Amino acid sequence: MCIQQLEQKQCQVANQYTRSVDRSGNTVAQQLISEVFEIIPQKWRGIGEISQSGLTLRRKYEAFDAQQRFDIVHHTTTESAECISGLVLQGVKKPHACPAFGQRCTPEHPLGAPMVSSEGACAAYYRYRQQPNTLSYAVSSK
Ligand code: SF4
């Protein structure tokens, strides 16, 4: 479906699993989640706070809240000033547009989340830039 959209110069959300997923979703799971959690504004690494983007346990379930149970203090993480992971995550910039990419930021010494895990955009760009044959195959086989 992705390739068909690419060839037709389209970009839209499509449901490949229409035989088991309908537009209303899993209403049983939704009700359970709504029973246990409430929606809150959430801060996202590299992006900042987005209203109604997070979940927290409702008060009646606070006994199961690890932050309260183990007296965990809220902590803030500082990100490298040169890391543009927010723009990468939003698709505004490619990883190699980052001045730290492949130099001060590598999978061995990541400065931002997209370089930490192997499926992160920066880590993937870093990994496959090491294999020019793979890239040239992907481009030439289009
Ligand atoms: S290459 Fe590193 S520093 Fe640059 S955006 Fe990606 S994670 Fe951040």
Q: Structural domain boundaries of the chain?
A: 26-74, 81-142
Q: Tell how far the Cα of 97 is from the centroid of ligand 1, in angstroms.
A: 9
Higher pLDDT, 3 or 136: 3
Cα Rg of the chain (Å, integer): 20
pLDDT tens digit sequence for 47-106: 889 999 999 999 999 999 998 888 887 777 777 899 999 999 999 999 999 999 999 999
Please give the number of the atom of ligand 1 that sits closest to the Cα of 112. 7
Q: pTM value?
A: 0.63
**Cα dihedral 49→51→52→57 (10° resolution):** 50
Closest C-alpha to ligand 1, atom 7? 112
Residues with CB under 6 A from ligand 1: 80, 83-85, 88, 95, 98, 100-101, 105, 110-112, 114-115, 122
